[in-house]
Amino acid sequence: MPIHFFEPFPWRFCAICGETLILENDGEKLRPFCKNCQRYYYHNPTPATCCFVTNTGKDLLLTRRAIQPAFGQWTLPGGYMELGETTEESAARELLEETGIVAEQLKLLGISAQPSKLTGTILVMGFIVEKWNGIIRAGSDVSEAEFFQYDQLPPLAFTAHKELLRLYFQETNR
């Protein structure tokens, strides 16, 4: 069954000249277009990352969100990429911000997408943290950071995290 991806708030005016945008076909589909600047506006996915961290391979680190969306729910450590970051840098930064631990070795697990009422689509890249150090503590955006045994994981808040968790279990034979 296909996932419905929400359209973000539509642009109404050109960010460059302020002219009212019209819908025009760019050869593929109707998109917001500025006649004055001859520029199309695209609704592109918003990139984010998340991390799979284990302690001796037996437990998985999760964080409880302290902000919306999904306030109070459990997720994998992660968040939106910043401009100029690589995906690995984003994953390591978010892990440090949310849990206080430093990722020393990361491996791309896979990519998933989920709908977002705010941005349209969030493209989430999941990383396995193969080596890390530090003392775990709840950092920015989270109220708790805790390891859970695989058979006692609480429900995850985000669709993309659930899909990547299934892939993680397949890839690691758990």
- For this structure, is 144 an active site residue? yes
Strands 102-116 and 120-133 come out as antiparallel
CB 79 within 8 A of CB 119: no
d(CA 98, CA 12): 36
Go through the chain and tell me how many residues it has. Answer: 174
Query: Could you tell me which residues come within 8 angstroms of residue 73 by beta carbon, excluding any fewer than 6 positions away?
Result: 64, 65, 155, 156, 157
Select which of 144, 146, 163, 171 is catalytic: 144
Strands 54-55 and 59-65 come out as antiparallel
Residue type, 159: T
For 99, the 3-state DSSP assignment is: helix
**Is the bond preceding 69 in cis, omega lying within 30 degrees of 0?**
yes
Residues tagged active-site: 144
